[in-house]
Amino acid sequence: MEALKSTPLLARHQQMKALLAPFGGWNMPIQYEGIIAEHRWCREKASLFDICHMGEFLFRGDIAASGMEDVFTFSVASIPVGRSRYGFLLNEEGGIIDDLIVFRLAEDETMIVVNAATIDNDFSVIRSRLKPDTRFSNISADTGKLDIQGPLSREVLVDAFGPEIDRIPYFKFVRMNILGVEAIVSRTGYTGELGYEIFLPAGKVAELWDLLLADQRVKAAGLGARDVLRLEVGYSLYGSDIDEGTTPLEAGLGAFVNFDKEFTGKGALLEQQRAGVKRVKAAFRVASRRSPRHHYEICFEGEAVGSVTSGVFSPMLGCGVGLGYVRPEAAAIGAPLTIRHDSVSMEATVVELPFFRGGSLRS
C-alpha cells in the first residue's frame, strides 16, 4: 500500500487537532472544529484552506510551435497575460482526464494547475502531446498553495499585503512579493465566495499560514467544508462528478469547450453532439434535510435512471442537494425524482444550478 503524501502543513494540522484522512493520495485535514461551523465561517467571514496537494506544471516557449495550443479544450494562446482559464484535458473518446486552470504568466510562459490525484498522469499526457524539445516541468513539489475564501478575504489580504490585491478582477492574478519571495495571488476559488488562491515556494507556506491565521477574521477550514461549499454552487469534483468515462457534454460543461480549435477528443465530442448524449448530469434538491450519498440510486417515474455522484446537506438551503447522471428525460427542470438506497427513500426535484445564489463570488 502506497504511503500517503503530506503537505508542508501537516504539523500545523496535527497541532490544531484536525481530523486527517486520505484524499487523492494525500493525508489531508477534513475538519478542525466541525464542517458546519467551518462552512458558516467561510460564507460569512474568511476561511483558509491548505491546498498544497494540488499539482502545478510550468511551460516555457512558443505556444503554437510547441503544440500547447492543441492540448486543452480552450485556447491557451488567446489568454491575456495576467489572466487564467478553466477547461479540460481529454482522452481520444472525449472523456475528462482532468479539469484544470491555465495561468498565462507571460507571452511565452504558463502555469497549469491540476488535481492532486491526477498529477503524474496529467504530466505524462501533456508531455506526450508537446514537441520533444519543449520546456515543460512539474513544479508541484516546490510549490505551495493556500486558498483564502469568504466575503472578508479581500480585506484580510489588503491589510496584510497592500492595495494591489484590491484591484484584481475575477479570474485575473498578480505576481507580487509576499514574505520576501515572489508569489502569485489569483482571484479564483472553489467555494462560490469572493476568494483568492496564493501560490508561493513550498518552504514559505507555513509562515504564510501562521500570518493569515493570526487575523481574527480568518479560521482554518478542511476539505469537508470545502466539499459542502463547492456543491452548494454546483461545482463538479473530479473523480466523483467527472472522470475519464464522462465527457464535458454529458457533464453540462460544454461552455468550456472551444470547437473552433483543435484538441484531442474533439472528433468524439462532435459525434456525441450529432448523436445526442445518452446520459446527462442533473442537479436535484431533496424535499427534506436528508443527505443523498454517492452511488444512491436515482429513480424517475418508478424506474431507476441513474445514480448520485455527489450529495450533502446544504446549511444555506436547509435541505439535501446533489448531482447525478440520469437519462436525459429525467433531467428536465422540475422533474420529480426519488433517491433510494436500501431502506432509504427521499423525494427530490431537478433544479437549475447553482443551488445557492447568495455568495460573494463577484463582489
Shared-domain flag, residues 165 and 294? no
**Which of these, 323, 362, 64, lies nearest to 191 by C-alpha position?**
362
What is the DSSP track for 161-212? H-GGGGGPPTTBEEEEEETTEEEEEES--SSSSSEEEEEEEGGGHHHHHHHH
The DSSP output letter for 5 is: B
Distances (CA, A) of 87 to 68, 112, 211, 247: 14, 11, 33, 12
Of 178, 202, 232, at which residue does a domain stop? 232
pLDDT at 189: 97
Of 172, 207, 232, at which residue does a domain stop? 232
pLDDT at 64: 95
**Which of these, 230, 206, 211, 221, lies nearest to 33 by C-alpha position?**
221
Q: How many helices (H) and strands (E) does the chain have?
A: 8, 19
The DSSP output letter for 105 is: E
Distances (CA, A) of 265 to 94, 204, 262, 287: 4, 39, 9, 39
Domain range spanning residue 341?
Answer: 278-350
pLDDT at 196: 98
In this structure, is residue 320 part of a structural domain? yes
CATH of the domain at 205: 3.30.1360.120
pLDDT at 169: 97
The DSSP output letter for 65 is: H
CATH of the domain at 296: 2.40.30.110
pLDDT at 363: 87
In this structure, is residue 356 part of a structural domain? no
Contact between 123 and 137 under an 8 Å Cβ cutoff? The reply is no
* Planar angle of CA 152, 314, 157, nearest 5 degrees: 15
SS3 104: strand
Distances (CA, A) of 342 to 33, 297, 350: 32, 9, 22
Shared-domain flag, residues 213 and 291? no
Shared-domain flag, residues 48 and 145? yes
In this structure, is residue 290 part of a structural domain? yes
pLDDT at 139: 98
Shared-domain flag, residues 228 and 146? yes
Shared-domain flag, residues 291 and 209? no
| Beta carbons within 10 angstroms of residue 242's beta carbon | 23
Q: Mean pLDDT in runs of 10 for the chain (363 residues)?
A: 90 98 96 98 98 98 97 98 98 98 98 98 98 97 98 98 97 98 98 98 98 98 98 98 98 98 98 97 97 97 97 98 98 98 96 97 90
Preceding omega of 80 cis (within 30 degrees of 0): no
In this structure, is residue 170 part of a structural domain? yes
Shared-domain flag, residues 43 and 151? yes
Shared-domain flag, residues 17 and 164? yes
pLDDT at 1: 55
- Count Cβ atoms within 10 A of the Cβ of residue 296 and give its class: 0-12 exposed, 13-18 middle, 19 or more buried: buried
Shared-domain flag, residues 30 and 176? yes
Domain count, the chain: 2
Shared-domain flag, residues 282 and 344? yes
Of 209, 232, 255, at which residue does a domain stop? 232
Q: How far apart are CA 184 and CA 174, in angstroms?
A: 6
In this structure, is residue 273 part of a structural domain? no
Cα 90 from chain centroid?
A: 17
pTM here?
0.97
**Which of these, 97, 96, 75, 71, lies nearest to 84 by C-alpha position?**
75
In this structure, is residue 167 part of a structural domain? yes
Shared-domain flag, residues 167 and 307? no
Shared-domain flag, residues 165 and 306? no
In this structure, is residue 130 part of a structural domain? no
Shared-domain flag, residues 217 and 295? no
In this structure, is residue 93 part of a structural domain? no
| Beta carbons within 10 angstroms of residue 51's beta carbon | 21
